[in-house]
Amino acid sequence: VREEDHKILLLFHTKLQKWLQPGGHADGDPNLARVALREAEEETGINHLKVYQIPIDLDIHIVRPPGEKEHKHFDVRYLTLAPKDSEPIGNHESQDLCWFTKDEINSMSLDHGLIRMIETGFELLSTM
């Protein structure tokens, strides 16, 4: 979430062909907040992100990447704040990165778990 205007950054995932939050694999690192921060920086190219240290959402879902075996993802999701005027750069894992308003998010056809995470993030932001 961008601090200045509370827009939400989503990426259009190349393999899965859908809008998702930035994220990735822990690769053995037990500090999942640190993993969330590292992955967000790598996938967006935005520096000076701040991560809320307590997970805001947990999600288990099946992914079916083309050419790979179907498998489960266990997402531990964190609220991450981007500095004002942040513009994403992206990497090979996404075709596009866009900032969306809450109204734009509400009009999109997104995964239920992603919508739940966004709503929880906004609830937390309203208390900060």
What are the boundaries of each domain within the chain? 8-125
| Confidence at 59, pLDDT banded by 50, 70, 90 | very high
| Confidence at 117, pLDDT banded by 50, 70, 90 | very high
Residue 65 is predicted with a pLDDT of: 80
Query: Under CATH, which architecture does the 8-125 domain have?
Result: Alpha-Beta Complex (3.90)
- The separation between CA 111 and the C-alpha centre of its own chain, rounded to angstroms, equals 12
Give pTM, 2 decimals: 0.87
CB within 8 Å of 2: residues ≥ 6 apart? 9, 81, 82, 83, 84, 86, 99
Nearest to 80 by CA among 46, 118, 50: 50
Asked if the model's pLDDT at residue 91 lies above 80, the reply is no
Burial of 31 (0-12, 13-18, 19+ CB in 10 A): exposed
Asked if the model's pLDDT at residue 90 lies above 80, the reply is no
CB 103 within 8 A of CB 8: no
CB 59 within 8 A of CB 77: yes
